[in-house]
Each structure stands twice: as C-alpha cells, then as structure tokens.
A and B are shown apart, each in its own frame.
Chain A
C-alpha cells in the first residue's frame, strides 16, 4: 500500500514502515522557539538534565514576537534567549531579522525534513514539503536535547484544488474557504495534503499562506509535494542543493478527499471571533474599519506587498484608518524598498512596522481599543487576540485588505481592481 507525504517523511525519519495511527520516534531536522515560548523552553531544557543540544546548528531561537521589545519584562526574556544561544552555540535570529516561519522557509527548511517549533504556525514549512508541526516548550526542549521526539503518524486528508482563480481571488481566500467549510476542528490531528492543478501552478508564497493556516483547521501538518517551483525557490534562496523531489504515492490511502473548484471561490473573510466563521467580502460590505493590517507570517511576503501596492499606489487610504504594513523579514523589507513598494505604501498613508509579528498577537504596535474593528491578513481572529477582548478582528487576503483600506470599510477587492 502506498504512502501519503506524512507517512513517507515519518517512515524515513523513524527508520520504520510508518502508517497512519502508528507512534514513532523520529529524528528532528530543525527545532526552534520564539521569544514568547523560548524562555520556558530554556527553563525546561535546563531542568531536564539533558545538558547538551543534539545539533546546535539546527536549533534556532527567534526574537520576533516582541521585536523590538516594548517593555523590560520582555527585554529580560530576550536576554535569556541571547544568553542561552551564547552558552550552547545554537543560532540566534535576533530582533530585526523577521518572523520565525518566514526565516525557516528562507534559510532552513528542506523537503522531507521533520521540523518542530514552539509555535503553532510551524506548519508553514509544509509549503515546501517538510513535515513541520507546532509543539509546546517541553516537547521542543526534548527535540533540542535528544534530536528526536515521538510522533503519532497522522491520517491524511487530500485537498484537491482544480481550476483557475478569478481575478482578485487567491491562496488566502482558498484556505479561509476551506476552514469555513470543514470547521476550526475539521482536521484535528490530521495532515492536510494539497494537490491538484491549482496547487501545481501556485507560487511558493501562496503555498506558504495555505500551509500556515492548516493549523486553523486543527491540522498537525499541511504538506505540499515538492516540485519545480520548490526547486526554483530553493535555488533563489541559494539553497539549491537542499532540493529533493517528494510526492505521495499514487495509491496512498487518505481518510478523506475534499475537492475545491478554485474558479468558484470569491474573496473570503473570516468574521469575529473564529477563523471558520467565514463569509464573502461582498456580503460584509459596509463593515466600518478602524485598522487594516497587511503582513504577518501568513501574508507578509513580497508577493503580498506587491498586491497591496497594485491597489494602493497613487491613492490614499481612507481617513480615520490606521493602515499598518509589516514585512515578514529583513530580506522582504529590503526587496520592498528596492522595488519602491515601501514608498508607494507610505505615500498611500501606511505606517511601516519593523519586521516581525507586528500587532498579530496583541503584544505591541497596533493593539485595538474598545469596540474597534480591524481587518487583517493574519491567521487568527480570536477574542482578545489583538490586545483587547472588546475589539473585533476580521481576516482576509492582501487584496481585500488593501481595497478595504481605500474605502474605510470591507469591500470586495474586485470593486477597485
């Protein structure tokens, strides 16, 4: 019987014939933490008696969630991480480098890798064919010390997407639609495997957006086969040798197949306070906004900023809107400067934040006031997420966010394209 992508990767890394439902010990190729989960990981690691890191050059500590730090407590947490990196020789990705998931795809993840991160959106690296999953601080501490951990091999859902997107519709609308369709717990414990003609044609940027949000349907992983697009991406990152072709077997067994006709999708929005509470952008027309955010590990890549620029260039965001742009990494910031995107966005009324998580988690930079409404390209709209349980968060694509910023209310981006 053939294997799914999850079964293939976990078989190879565990040295067993891994099938869905098995519990295996698998080698971990990359373990990472960020600044809100890292200090606890460090404490757990230190109290575990493991002593040394299994592979310091494949252990990364990211300072991205509160970068630069807004207060002394978080600054002290940053010191904990910097000290640990010095003591152990592991890699520190400091404030100003970018969001962990963005840097992982730019610099570390390889097709076929097992990656664990103390951050739920670790699944993002599934976009290039890694089995990447979020774990808590204790589990990541164990992976850092032993170079392995235990995994239950997940059952897989095949998500087959065919057809061409309409203008103004893309990867983000697809994943929001899918989550709306199967629910925020529709894929709990499962691996989502994305296939079909739409996926084959999709850019890496779009694949990462989709993989990033697999966890919002409860999934343990969201994996894409690696192909010519993956190879080109790795070559452009100067990592061509990291490429390897990885595909599910033709006779792999899936628990379920979900088919989506991309041509039928519309610009989609998640309403407060759950990601599966979806609607078309059109149906929400007239929803007044106080803040619009374009960025985060979901949609802070160059391609996302290009879409925003194509809509906002030469125009002005609506009065009374705070338009916040957060490129996901230093590299993207530099590319956006070179291409003139930053100038165009600032002229259109945007504030550009330092690379990192920005307002996504309510830590700093763009916390919402009572009763305020935010439209964001991030991945979570939970109650209280952006710093205030009395505020309201809607999620959408960069196109919908940019178009809505022009109008000051939610609109279907096709109205302005």
Chain B
C-alpha cells in the first residue's frame, strides 16, 4: 500500500520539464540533479514534495527523450508512483525498469493536494480527500516481474538473463 499526497500537473509533461537538458552536466551527480526535478513545470516542486508522494499528470506524461534520469530523479526526490491518463512509451518502460510504478487512470478526478492510497495488487487508487476509488490499467506481465524484483538491473543480476 502506498500513501501520499498528489502533486498535480497538466498534459504533455516532457522529460525536458522533468530534468532540463541544461542540467546535463549534473547527470553524474544525482543528488544535485534531483534538486531540479520538474523545475520547468513547477519551480517549487522540490520544496513541496514529501517522501511517498505522487506525481499526477494528464495525457502523454514523460514524452520526449530517453533520459532515464527523468524517472530516476523523481524517485530520488521521494516520488513513489506516477499517475497519468497516458504515458509516453520510453518513460513508462524506464520508470518500471527503475522500480517506479506508472499507473494509467483517469486523473481528471484527482485534485492537487488530495491524499491518495494506492493498492498495487488490487489495482486501485483511493482518493481519501474526495472518497472516490479509481482503478488503473494492468501493467504487462513482463514489466510486473521487473517491477517486483526491484527493477531491470536487479532482475538481470538475479537471473543472469531476461525471459518473457
């Protein structure tokens, strides 16, 4: 069970919003890089986010580059899951590879600051602020295995191979 506050963003949050190219020189200094997460979408996000909180987006969350640093710094900033109406392919796969769940559901019903409780096994998001419960789309089997083993590198380390 994951519990935290919703930080709401709009449609088309790109990887350039999440971690702008101008900070590429910090990519091998992750604690510094994480200070800029989502800066171009909300300059105060880093100050507001608490461990366990959720980033809630609209359509096409994470579009743009393949930089895995985008989900990585979100995770480092304490984000425990991303919720969106839809997510860009590379971002979705990268996040799961790092053990950060991306849950596809109707986020219009969630408001900024709502307290959420997520049950990954049951596939539900309970909005404790408005009392509604949403269900999210199933994560494909192979990705669920990777997520459950703590990410792709941990998976490969354990099995020495990749299977579907």
Contacts and interface: CB of A to CB of B under 8 A. Distances in A.
Interface of A: 23-25, 36-37, 39-40, 44, 47-50, 65-66, 70-71, 73-74, 76-77, 80, 117-120, 122, 134-139, 141-142, 145-146, 148-150, 152, 184-185, 188-189, 218, 220, 274, 361-363, 367, 380, 382-385, 387-389
Contacts of B107: none
B157 A120 contact: no
A385 B86 contact: no
A274 B27 contact: no
A389 to B, nearest CB: 5
Contact of B88 (A37, A135, A149, A218): A218
B131 interface: no
A-B residue pairs, 10 tightest by C-beta:
A136-B68, A136-B94, A361-B21, A73-B25, A185-B60, A134-B66, A382-B16, A362-B21, A138-B97, A384-B40
8 contacts: A37-B68, A66-B24, A73-B26, A74-B24, A185-B63, A185-B86, A188-B88, A380-B16
B164 A37 contact: no
Question: Contact residue range for chain B?
Answer: 35 or more
Interface string B85-100: 0101110011001100
A188 B86 CA distance: 9
B69 interface: yes
Given A138-B152, A361-B24, A362-B20, A23 B142 contact: yes
B16 A385 contact: yes
Given A50-B156, A389-B40, A363 B24 contact: yes
B75 interface: no
A185 B27 CA distance: 27
Given A141-B153, A188-B89, A218-B88, A152 B140 contact: yes
Contacts of A218: 60, 63, 88-89
A134 B162 CA distance: 19
Contacts of A361: 21, 24
A24 B66 contact: no
B153 A384 contact: no
B143 to A, nearest CB: 9
Contacts, number: 153
B28 interface: yes
A52 to B, nearest CB: 12
A135 B59 CA distance: 20
Contact of A136 (B60, B90, B161): B90
Contact of B66 (A25, A135, A141): A135
A39 B15 CA distance: 18
Given A138-B153, A188-B89, 18 more contacts: A25-B162, A25-B163, A40-B72, A48-B157, A65-B24, A118-B66, A136-B97, A138-B68, A138-B94, A141-B153, A145-B156, A220-B89, A362-B20, A362-B22, A382-B16, A384-B20, A384-B40, A387-B21
B90 A184 contact: no
Nearest to A40: B68
B35 interface: no
A383 B40 contact: yes
A119 B66 CA distance: 5
Contact of A139 (B27, B88, B152): B152
Given A142-B152, A382-B14, A382-B17, A184 B63 contact: yes
Contacts of B16: 380, 382-385
B78 interface: no
B112 interface: no
